Amino acid sequence: MINVVIVDDHGMVREGLRHFLAEDPEIVVVGEASDGASALQLVQRVRPSVVLMDVIMPGMDGIAATASIHKLCPECRIIMLSNHVERSMVIHAVKAGAVGYLLKDTMAEDLCHAIKEVMLGNVQFSAQASMYLLHEVREPHLPETLTEREADVLNLLAQGRSNKDIARHLHIVEDTVKTHVRHILAKLGVQSRTQAALYATRLNLVSSRESEENVQFTEVSGVRPL
């Protein structure tokens, strides 16, 4: 089961999300919060796998809450949900540690899919959000040189591979991959796999188009929007 916490200052939004997520037998909502401060306390108590985080809330907003949660519970995957996709919000959310940025009208089935994908180590962004990210990343200055094996891991990470897939491809154990990823993030000076993948694109480890396809979450229109 994937334990999920919903954070939104609108009760109707939380109710709608809870209703749609309840239809997936692999997902269970373990708590709700109406603001960032309450979310931080809740996450510390229940330690969910995934947090669905509203961006704009009174008091502590979603981006500030994401940064705090990422420090206290780095294993939590945080997906931002918003009515708008603004460049500055997307960039700040990723820097805070978010692994996804989706619109609130994302289809229920697609949101459930996104939750499962981030649990596999992948990232989930709306088309516009991923374009903002790809154009934002600057040429990195590496304080330390990556080892050959770290470069291999970064290359596969940028292709959207999960830790399990990387381990299988390189014939190493998954725990070793996790160690390499931690070292890569530290050397690049970034906080998330998303940022590391975008840096890899700028380093020409993968093509821009390939990386974009892996960080982009295509919006799907249809009935039953959230």
| CATH of residue 80 | 3.40.50.2300
Query: Do 168 and 191 belong to one domain?
Result: yes
Query: Do 93 and 188 belong to one domain?
Result: no
30-44, 124-138, 183-197: which range is least confident on average?
124-138
9 in a structural domain: yes
CB-CB contact of 94 with 66 (8 Å)? no
pLDDT in tens, 127-179: 888 777 766 654 445 446 778 888 889 888 887 788 999 999 999 999 999 99
Query: Do 64 and 146 belong to one domain?
Result: no
39 in a structural domain: yes
225 in a structural domain: no
Q: What is the three-class DSSP state of 182?
A: helix
Task: In whole angstroms, give the CA distance from residue 170 to residue 149.
Answer: 9
* Residue 105: HSE in the Cβ half-sphere, 13 Å Cα cutoff: 8
222 in a structural domain: no
So what's the pLDDT on residue 7? 97
Query: Do 105 and 18 belong to one domain?
Result: yes
Q: What are phi and psi of 179, to 5 degrees?
A: -65, -45
Q: Check whether 226 has a pLDDT greater than 70.
A: no
pLDDT in tens, 108-122: 999 999 999 999 888
**Cβ neighbours of residue 154 closer than 8 Å, sequence gap 6 or more:** 146, 184, 196, 200, 205
13-22, 129-138, 197-206: which range is least confident on average?
197-206
Query: Do 126 and 23 belong to one domain?
Result: yes
pLDDT in tens, 67-88: 999 988 989 999 999 998 888 8
Query: Do 106 and 179 belong to one domain?
Result: no
Query: Do 155 and 124 belong to one domain?
Result: no
Q: What are phi and psi of 216, to 5 degrees?
A: -90, 135
Query: Number of structural domains, the chain?
Result: 2
Q: What is the pTM of this model?
A: 0.65
So what's the pLDDT on residue 40? 95
So what's the pLDDT on residue 137? 55
**Of 99, 120, 135, which closes a domain?**
135
**Of 96, 115, 135, which closes a domain?**
135
Query: Do 109 and 145 belong to one domain?
Result: no
Check residue 9 and give left, alpha or beta (phi > 0: left; psi -120 to 50: alpha).
Answer: alpha
Two structure tokens written together for 197: 């993948």
Query: Do 25 and 126 belong to one domain?
Result: yes
**Of 105, 135, 165, which closes a domain?**
135
**Cβ neighbours of residue 194 closer than 8 Å, sequence gap 6 or more:** 94, 98, 99, 123, 125, 133, 215
**Cβ neighbours of residue 206 closer than 8 Å, sequence gap 6 or more:** 155, 158, 159, 200
**Closest to 190 in 3D by CA, of 152, 149, 138, 121:** 138
Residues 94-100, mean pLDDT to the nearest whole number: 91
3-state secondary structure 35-90: CHHHHHHHHHHHCCCEEEEECCCCCCCHHHHHHHHHHHCCCCEEEEEECCCCHHHH
Q: Check whether 97 has a pLDDT greater than 60.
A: yes
Domain that holds residue 153: 139-215
Query: Do 103 and 22 belong to one domain?
Result: yes
93 in a structural domain: yes
